[in-house]
Amino acid sequence: MGIKKIKHIILIIVFSILIFTNSQIFANDEIQKAQQNVRVAIGNQNFQKYNYNEITVFGTSDVQIIDKKTNELLTTIPIDTPINIKIKDNTYQIYVEKDKETNNLIQKQKETITLNSDFVLKSPGGLLGIKDLKRSGKQALYKDSLEIIKKPKTNDLFFVINVLDVQEYLKGVVPNEMPIRFGLEALKAQTIAARNYVLCSRDKKTNEYDVVDSVASQVYYGANTETEISNRAVKETDGIVAIHNWKLILAQYSSTAGGYTESYENAFSEPDSKKFPANRKPYLMAKADMLTQQPLKTEEDVRNFYMTKPDSYDIRSPYYRWKKEWSNEELNQVLARTLVEQSKTGFVNPKLEKAENFGKLLDIKPIRRGDSGKLMIVEITTDKGIFTAQKELVIRRLFQKDNISLPSANVVFDFVKDEKGNIVNIIANGGGFGHGVGMSQYGAGFMGKELKMSYDKILKHYYTDITLGTMPIIISAHPSQQKQTQKFYLDYKNANLIVDNRYNLSKINLIINNKEVQIPLEQSIFPKTHLVIDISKEIKKGENTVTYCYPLDESNMKAARLYIEAVNPYADKFGF
């Protein structure tokens, strides 16, 4: 046998081993699943707590009470009937007043249901309300179901969790996270950011729910706050997410960047280790709105930027530029209190245990700033010591005015001193509202409504090197991956099939809008991991359905991952 033939056989054997080994890794790759439902913990009126020992629920149609574990229907309660739920010693008591006919007279009779297990409330054809809970000034109403679940390690507390489809959830998020006056394209950008956020949550704190209904996650006020234009934005982005390197991005957003967004690592710490700065996310990079804006490399650069109003997309925000002022005595009292509070975060060194140990404020010195000029580390000097605080949220919460944190950490400080050099007043000038990472909502509103930019152009400005498309999926010979279906909405009749064909599938079978299509795939000894195949002829503007089918005549040791990229044919040519 010749040397060349031996080498060829060895290559085939090695490649086969790699295919088998890597296909197992590939099948377990971190591609997010298109989950059907989201679990939202419902807070009280001021969002101060997410556990209850008593609530009263009602339905706009009859309410079913279902055992969560067995799925057994326990009882049905008539429309608009108050359902009082209490818990004590791990036992639920459900009190309901029902009409009962006695001697031709209708009388109210209290019925008590005792349960030792968690349960579900549903109002088929209607909505569920929680008595005395308002959202945006209206009675809070929720779609689908409310789960009543005991809080772990307690005997007399429970969570109220709204379980519903992601699309329905977004209808209750978008008009509450962004003013609808910002227009359809900005609302579409907000929808995709919110969809990514809930499907790719930064850190999940409990097993009982995915997100909460406040700014701690993203604002969700339920069905009673939906609007026609925001619902349209949700519908017309159905199934579309923002992707970077085959994964959903963590689509951070805030109200106002102040003309310059910040890199992720400069604003956040790692959720588990608390390491600061955090690990870099290549799609969340600092960026000035205007190409003519020079980098903010020095304190003078930062001061000039935030003490003036250069053109930017979010210049119309009331928080584009702001000013706060304290007397020396006032800020002393504030910092003595807030340093004790923020010492508990672990981002203040040394910790301040007691307010009386703070001393007299002598200086505030920026030690490190991010690319947008955002304070990352600040040094506070007093006559009793030097305190170093890091991370933008901690810094904002230190410098409170009237018990309200700074709008952002894009801030420069000035001191007004008397003739003896004593500090009389402290002035903070800054710009932006929120962490400033990712999309600026006011910027998106201006880009969409005033500049007539499309939502994809907005998103690609704020998130670096992203693709917009369907959720990446895997197809293989495994029964759970042989056939997968996705629904999605496209503004244009243009789309690409993106395929990672590292395991050399020869073809892929698709059913696109009820039409069967077989697409040959390029094969090579060095397989392509990013094939781009134009499928625009098979796609329609509006709602589409695609089923991906693994070709069963292929080897069962192969696999591919893929998604459909939404293409705006006018974006690069006309800039909208």
- pLDDT tens, 81-96? 999 999 999 999 999 9
Q: Point out the domain boundary residue: 244, 264, 279.
A: 244
Quote the CA–CA distance of 241 and 168 in Å, as a whole number: 16
- Position 523 confidence tier, pLDDT thresholds 50, 70, 90: confident
Residue 492: DSSP 8-state? S
The CATH number assigned to the domain holding 499 equals: 2.60.120.260
Residue 224 belongs to a domain: yes
Same domain for 195 and 46: yes
- Position 421 confidence tier, pLDDT thresholds 50, 70, 90: confident
Residue 487 belongs to a domain: yes
SS3 content of the chain, % helix, strand, coil (to 5): 25, 35, 40
Q: How many domains in the chain?
A: 3
Q: Which of 209-218, 278-287, 441-450, 455-464 has the lowest mean pLDDT?
A: 209-218
Same domain for 514 and 420: no
Q: Among positive and negative, which fits the CA dihedral 310, 311, 313, 314?
A: positive
Same domain for 178 and 239: yes
**In this predicted structure, what is the pLDDT of residue 282?**
97
Of the candidates 42, 249, 235, the one whose C-alpha atom is nearest the C-alpha of residue 142 is: 42
Residue 381 belongs to a domain: yes
Which residue bears the tokens 């609302």?
A: 187
Same domain for 189 and 117: yes
Same domain for 478 and 410: no
Q: Report the predicted TM-score, pTM, of the whole model to 2 decimal places.
A: 0.90
Residue 249 belongs to a domain: no
Residue 563: DSSP 8-state? E
**In this predicted structure, what is the pLDDT of residue 528?**
86
Tell me the pLDDT tens digit for each residue of 322-357.
999 999 999 999 999 999 999 999 999 999 999 999
**In this predicted structure, what is the pLDDT of residue 206?**
82
Residue 7 belongs to a domain: no
Q: Among positive and negative, which fits the CA dihedral 193, 195, 200, 206?
A: positive
Residue 437 belongs to a domain: no
Retrieve residue 474's tokens. Answer: 């895997």
Q: Point out the domain boundary residue: 430, 450, 479.
A: 430
Mean pLDDT value across the chain: 91
Same domain for 522 and 417: no
**What's at 27, amino acid-wise?**
A
Query: Has residue 201 got a pLDDT over 80?
Result: no
* Domain around 500: 470-574
Residue 229 belongs to a domain: yes
Same domain for 227 and 95: yes
**In this predicted structure, what is the pLDDT of residue 444?**
98
Same domain for 408 and 348: yes
